[in-house]
Amino acid sequence: MIPLDKKRDVFIHWFIKRHNKREISRKLNISRGTVDKIIRECQQRIVELNLPLEADLLSHIDEIVIAAEIQRKRKPYKLNEETISFIEEIVLYNEKLVRTGSEDAKNTKELFKYFQKQKNEKPYLMTDFTIDNFYKLVRKVKNKIHEKGI
């Protein structure tokens, strides 16, 4: 996302000082593609506002250069308490196995596979999330264990 002050700088350099895109890119240390995108957004906004060609664009800068709307499409995973507590249990048990040097200890990927298989036995578990989220949750649990002990 492009900061609003960078957009304003590009606007001033292009519409007021009349620099070319390459100069703007070098001065502001942003790519020419980004400069072009900002200029197109500003031109489109000028057309939407129906500003005349003779208009003082600097006085309308707050109306022309606006912050981008943030559109988040992906919904974050909402894990229920049962799922989180089950993951904490298996990680805690696995950490105990690791500390005793047992061969039954599993790595995180194997724990994830074991967790996925538990869906048949425990239907209340939410298993429809990625291994990355599982890794993050396991890391949090392990950090708690290392801070507080088993």
Q: Is there a single domain that holds both residue 88 and residue 129?
A: yes
Report pTM.
0.49
**Residue 69 within any structural domain of the chain:** no
Q: How many helices (H) and strands (E) does the chain have?
A: 7, 0
CA distance 25 to 48: 26
Q: What is the pLDDT of residue 24?
A: 95
Q: How far apart are CA 38 and CA 91, in angstroms?
A: 49
Domain encompassing residue 139: 81-148
Q: Domain check: are 95 and 133 in the same one?
A: yes
Residues 93 and 57 both lie in one domain: no
100 and 136: one domain? yes
Walk along the chain (150 residues) in steps of 10 and give the mean pLDDT of each run: 89 92 94 94 90 84 84 73 89 89 88 87 80 90 84
Residue 74 belongs to some domain of the structure:
no
Task: Tally the domains of the chain.
Answer: 2
d(CA 133, CA 143): 15
Question: For residue 76, is it within any domain?
Answer: no
Are 134 and 85 part of one and the same domain? yes
**Residue among 74, 82, 71, 60 nearest 11 (CA):** 60
In this predicted structure, what is the pLDDT of residue 77? 67
pLDDT of residue 58: 84
C-alpha distances in Å from residue 97, one per residue of 11, 83, 104, 105: 62, 21, 7, 5
- Predicted confidence at residue 104, as pLDDT, reads 86
